[in-house]
């Protein structure tokens, strides 16, 4: 048993987990990390984006890029996706995925039909440059010291 002293509030906003409609969304990347794929045969870069405007402001959208995969085709697609994101954000020499954080980008979002019993999900189909200046981040983390920053996140092995 867990003792919790909580008072429910009918005025508290609830998070909606409904799919976002297909369309273009003005976003910034707020987080990124390498994760092992489901078969543990490779790793993907997961980037979390936050919608900045409109009725879906504050909602999150995730994109996954198969950076290391047994399928060379999957890796090629991931490099194309990463290249498109870098071009749209103006990050021409990406050393760490943190460099993509807090930069405005338009995500072209689609709905992918669920397979094997899974629900439908939103899928990033492309990236477009906004031409806008980056919004001021709430809190910016310090850059790693020169030479001591370690390997970029996509070159690090995910912990088991």
- In tens, the pLDDT along 27-64 reads 999 999 999 988 888 999 999 999 999 999 999 999 99
Quote the percentage of the chain above a pLDDT of 90: 62
CA distances from 66 to 63, 73, 84, 114 (A): 10, 10, 14, 19
Is there a contact between 38 and 64 (Cβ–Cβ < 8 Å)? no
The predicted pLDDT at position 151 comes to 56
> Does 89 score more than 90 pLDDT?
yes
Residue 107, C-beta contacts closer than 8 angstroms, at least 6 positions apart = 24, 25, 27, 49, 61, 63, 124, 126, 127
CA distance 16 to 21: 13
DSSP H stretches of helix in the chain: 72-89
Domain spans in the chain, listed from the N-terminal domain onward: 23-133
Is 82's pLDDT higher than 90? yes
pLDDT of 11 higher than 80: no
Condensed to tens digits (0 to 9), the pLDDT of residues 95-114 reads: 999 999 999 999 999 999 98
- Give the pLDDT confidence score for residue 2 in this predicted structure: 80
Residues in the chain: 160
pLDDT higher than 90, residue 91 = yes
How much is the mean pLDDT over the chain? 84
Q: How confident is the model at residue 17 (pLDDT cuts 50, 70, 90)?
A: confident
Q: Which CATH number fits domain 23-133: 1.10.3470, 3.30.720, 1.10.1740, 2.40.50?
A: 2.40.50
């Amino acid at each position: 048993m867990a003792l919790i002293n909580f008072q429910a509030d009918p005025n508290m906003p609830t998070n909606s987990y409904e799919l976002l409609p297909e369309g273009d969304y003005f976003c910034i990347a707020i987080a990124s990390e390498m994760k092992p794929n489901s078969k543990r045969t490779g790793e993907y870069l997961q980037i979390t984006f936050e919608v900045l405007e409109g009725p879906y402001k504050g909602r999150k959208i995730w994109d996954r890029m198969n950076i290391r995969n047994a399928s060379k085709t999957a890796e090629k697609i991931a490099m194309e996706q990463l290249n498109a994101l870098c071009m749209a954000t103006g990050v021409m020499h990406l050393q760490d995925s943190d460099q993509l954080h807090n930069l405005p980008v338009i995500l072209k979002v689609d709905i992918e039909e669920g397979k094997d019993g899974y629900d439908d999900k939103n899928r990033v189909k492309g990236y477009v440059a906004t031409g806008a200046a980056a919004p001021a981040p709430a809190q910016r983390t310090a850059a790693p010291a020169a030479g001591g920053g370690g390997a970029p996140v996509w070159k690090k092995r995910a912990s088991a």
